[in-house]
Amino acid sequence: ITNLLSNAINHSYENNKVIVRVYREAIKVNLEIQDYGIGIDKKDKKHIFERFYRVDKARSRDSGGTGLGLSITKHIVEALHGTIMVESELNKGSLFRVSFIDKIE
């Protein structure tokens, strides 16, 4: 969660909000983190969970990014039998959704 929140804040335009939602849907529990920032280009979206992949190498290096955060996040989510996905539009923002099967009865 920390990595997704950090990314949302760091890649949002100044004074834009970041929204966090947690909700149940049928047998799943979903966590969504939505920003209204720079967004992710379609050509980059399919690669963002790859190790060392950075959308804008110059900007990411300046902000300390290594291209590992989303890869590690995906690995942890999948190790816990969850899924992670992203919806994004360039210059409009991104929505990351992490979903887990709700095993609590």
Q: What is the widest separation between alpha-carbon atoms in the chain?
A: 48
CA triplet 44, 99, 65: central angle to 5 degrees?
40
pLDDT at residue number 84 = 97
In the chain, where the domains are located:
2-101
Res 52 pLDDT > 80: no
Report the pLDDT averaged over residues 83-91: 95
In this prediction, residue 76 has a pLDDT band, given cuts at 50, 70 and 90, of very high
CATH superfamily of 2-101: Histidine kinase-like ATPase, C-terminal domain (3.30.565.10)
Residue type, 87: E
Report whether 101 contacts 28 (CB < 8 A).
yes
pLDDT at residue number 90 = 93
